[in-house]
Amino acid sequence: MAASEQLGILGVHSFHYFVHDAERSRVFYEDRFGWHASHRSSAAVTQRTGQTSTVYEAGDVRVAVSTAAAHDGSLDPRAQRWLRRHPDGIGTVSYLVADIDQAWRFLTGRDATPIHGVQETRVGNGSQQGRFRHFSITTALGDVTFRFIQIDDWDGFAPGYEPLPAPTGVVNPMGFTKVDHITCNAQTMAGFKLWLEHVMGMEQCWDIEFHTDDVKQDAEVGTGLRSAVMWDPRSELKFPINEPLQPFFKEGQINKFIEDNHGAGIQHVALEVTDIMKAVQTLRTRGIDFLHTPGNYYDSAPSRLLENGVHTDRIAHKIDDLRGLGILIDGSPVDNYLVQIFLKDAMTTYSDDHAGPFFYELIERRGDQGFGGGNFRALFEAIEREQLEA
Which range among 29-43, 87-101, 103-117, 282-296 shows the weakest confidence by mean pLDDT?
Answer: 282-296
Q: What is the mean pLDDT of residues 1-20?
A: 96
Residue 111 in this model has a pLDDT that exceeds 70: yes
Q: What is the mean pLDDT of residues 26-32?
A: 98
Residue 100 makes CB contacts below 8 A (sequence gap 6+) with 118, 133, 134, 135, 148, 149, 150
pLDDT value at residue 213: 64
pLDDT value at residue 67: 96
The 10s digit of each residue's pLDDT in 162-204 is 999 999 888 999 999 999 999 999 999 999 999 999 999 999 9
Record the pTM. 0.94
Residue 211 in this model has a pLDDT that exceeds 80: no
> pLDDT class for 146, splitting at 50, 70, 90?
very high
Pair 75, 49: CB distance under 8 Å:
yes
Q: What percent of the chain is modeled with pLDDT above 70?
A: 95
Which range among 48-57, 218-227, 241-250, 311-320 shows the weakest confidence by mean pLDDT?
Answer: 218-227
> pLDDT class for 129, splitting at 50, 70, 90?
confident
> pLDDT class for 360, splitting at 50, 70, 90?
very high
Cα–Cα dist 111/200, whole Å: 10
Residue 225 makes CB contacts below 8 A (sequence gap 6+) with 209, 210, 211, 242, 243, 244, 245, 252, 253, 254, 380
pLDDT value at residue 208: 83
Looking only at the bridges linking them, the beta strands covering 9-18 and 61-68 are parallel
Helices marked H in the chain: 3-7, 22-26, 43-49, 78-85, 100-109, 190-198, 253-261, 276-285, 295-299, 301-307, 319-325, 346-350, 373-389
Q: What is the mean pLDDT of residues 377-384?
A: 73
Residue 215 in this model has a pLDDT that exceeds 50: no
pLDDT value at residue 7: 98
Average pLDDT score, the chain: 92
DSSP string, 130-154: EEEEEEEEE-SSTT-EEEEEEEES-
pLDDT value at residue 348: 96
The separation between the first and the last C-alpha atoms of the chain, rounded to the nearest angstrom, is 51
Cα–Cα dist 212/100, whole Å: 43
Pair 46, 163: CB distance under 8 Å:
no
Q: What is the mean pLDDT of residues 314-342?
A: 94
> pLDDT class for 380, splitting at 50, 70, 90?
confident
- Sign, CA torsion 312/315/317/322: negative
Q: What percent of the chain is modeled with pLDDT above 90?
A: 76
pLDDT value at residue 390: 65
Cα–Cα dist 79/92, whole Å: 11
pLDDT value at residue 372: 67
> pLDDT class for 293, splitting at 50, 70, 90?
confident
Burial class (CB in 10 A: 0-12, 13-18, 19+), 126: exposed
